[in-house]
Amino acid sequence: MHLTLHADYALRVLLYLASNPDRVVSTGEVSDAYGISKHHLVRVVQGLGRHGFVEVRPGRAGGVVLARPPAEISVGEVVRRMEPDFHVVECFDPATNKCPITPACGLIGVLNEATRAFLSTLDKYTLEDVLRRGPRKLSAYFLKPAADAGVG
């Protein structure tokens, strides 16, 4: 199983916000903390907002915060909402499938079962669980926010 960068970044944004629960965070700050494109993060944050994971606050002092407590955000739900599809192999997408053995292939069922197991495992965990599982406090790894960090 391979997650797209979009889903990976979505999880990173949520972990960053969960590590900074008492303040509004700019996308620029998150971008700096992870060393990833601010432009890409803006699209990720928009998607997280559409799905109700974050609240985007506009304006000079705006930014983004979690829309729900970390204990109420399922990792499995985030991945399902932020991944464009779970086409592990070509034959999972009937519109583009060109595999000649699809009608007789037993691998499709096995891969479907594996995908369900993967998501089922993710469903067992919330952002809060993930924060607690780390060997060290996550926020210690992030850059300190700038005093004038605004909307990014």
Domains observed in the chain = 5-84+126-141 (1.10.10.10)
Read off the pLDDT band of 138 (50, 70, 90): low
Across the range 79-90, mean pLDDT stands at 89
Tell me the one-letter amino acid at 144: K
- Radius of gyration, CA atoms only, the chain: 18
* Helix, strand, or coil (residue 4): coil
**How does residue 150 score in pLDDT terms, banded at 50, 70 and 90?**
very low
Quick one: average pLDDT of 109-137?
Answer: 90
Backbone angles phi, psi at 56, to 5 degrees: -100, 125
Residue 54 sits at φ, ψ, to 5 deg, of: -130, 160
Average of pLDDT values for 124-142?
79
pLDDT-derived band at 149, boundaries 50, 70, 90: very low
Helix (H, G, I), strand (E, B) or coil at 131: helix
